[in-house]
Amino acid sequence: MDFQPILDDIVEAIRPELGKEGRVANYIPALANVPAAQFGIALRTYVGREAAAGDFATPFSIQSISKVFALGMGMRLTGESLWEHIGREPSGSAFNSLVQLENEQGVPRNPFINAGAIALVDRLLGHLDPKAEMLALLSSLCNEPVFFDEVVAASEAATGFRNIALANFMKSFGRIENDIDGVLDAYFHHCSVRMSCQQLARAAAVLCADGAHPFHADQKVLTERQTRRINALMLTCGTYDAAGEFAYRIGLPCKSGVGGGIIAVVPDTLSLCVWSPALDHTGNSLLGMRALEMFTSMTGLSVF
């Protein structure tokens, strides 16, 4: 299939909608000023063919998309014991909710809500430097150096009262081993990574190739089973409280972030990244979701 004309058509269809609906995330002050009227899309097939259109080269804050790669790191390091500390069920509540944690003795529902990612970073800290490792992993997977946005990381540290509360709450249940400040510093930095659609489509290609490195096919970054499980979690828990709607309308494992990015995986075929900063009421990129729906309708690609 020639994907370039498809992505060009999607950009044409989305362009008149730019800036009309949705809202840029403003609870992180450093994200509030990102111009809403931007849209990019990029993909990479498992054999390395690429297509891209719109603002595909513009870097943005990947936010919760980093949680997918943190999970990959956690699975590699701690194997199944990870699941003694973090669940694997959709939360059915807000990504930063405290309520469920109270009822479930401080064990987060899954690694893609904030509490789960914070608990995951705590696990990583016992083995490595999560900040350095995140940059090393993403830079390797997309074949270009990527960096933290220190302004965004500092902005989150200064205003992330809920995340600070989540970490302390879990600590009160004895679920966090390390010093809270170190855990949160790594978590906020993970969220602050800046990447473009093209870089994220490349990095996510590891998930459409049974865990093989996108640029070095003979190198296994994840096992086939780990990759399958990350995709399963993305499908069930990757898009906040809209995972059902994503499965229904798009039918692909996806992970979104409040920076407006969404990665999507067609297993054994390709990975995609869309980005548009204005979010809908569920916190997902409004035009990003629409673009993914167009892509699966036009190509017939879906896991169902």
Binding site for ligand GLU (CB under 6 A): 63-64, 95-96, 114, 156, 163, 191, 257-258
Asked about 67 being catalytic, the answer comes back as yes
What are the structure tokens assigned to 72, written together? 């990959």
Asked about 140 being catalytic, the answer comes back as no
Smallest gap from Cβ 147 to ligand GLU, in A, equals 16
Candidate list 121, 187, 266, 276, residue with the active-site label: 187
Smallest gap from Cβ 230 to ligand GLU, in A, equals 17
Asked about 27 being catalytic, the answer comes back as no
Task: Compare residues 96 and 178 and give the one whose CB is closer to ligand GLU.
Answer: 96
Q: Which amino acid is at 8?
A: D
Task: Compare residues 111 and 211 and give the one whose CB is closer to ligand GLU.
Answer: 111
Candidate list 46, 61, 67, 131, residue with the active-site label: 67
Task: Compare residues 133 and 156 and give the one whose CB is closer to ligand GLU.
Answer: 156
Asked about 240 being catalytic, the answer comes back as yes
Smallest gap from Cβ 63 to ligand GLU, in A, equals 3
Smallest gap from Cβ 118 to ligand GLU, in A, equals 9
Candidate list 64, 91, 140, 285, residue with the active-site label: 64
Task: Compare residues 51 and 186 and give the one whose CB is closer to ligand GLU.
Answer: 186
Asked about 303 being catalytic, the answer comes back as no
Active site residues: 64, 67, 187, 240, 258
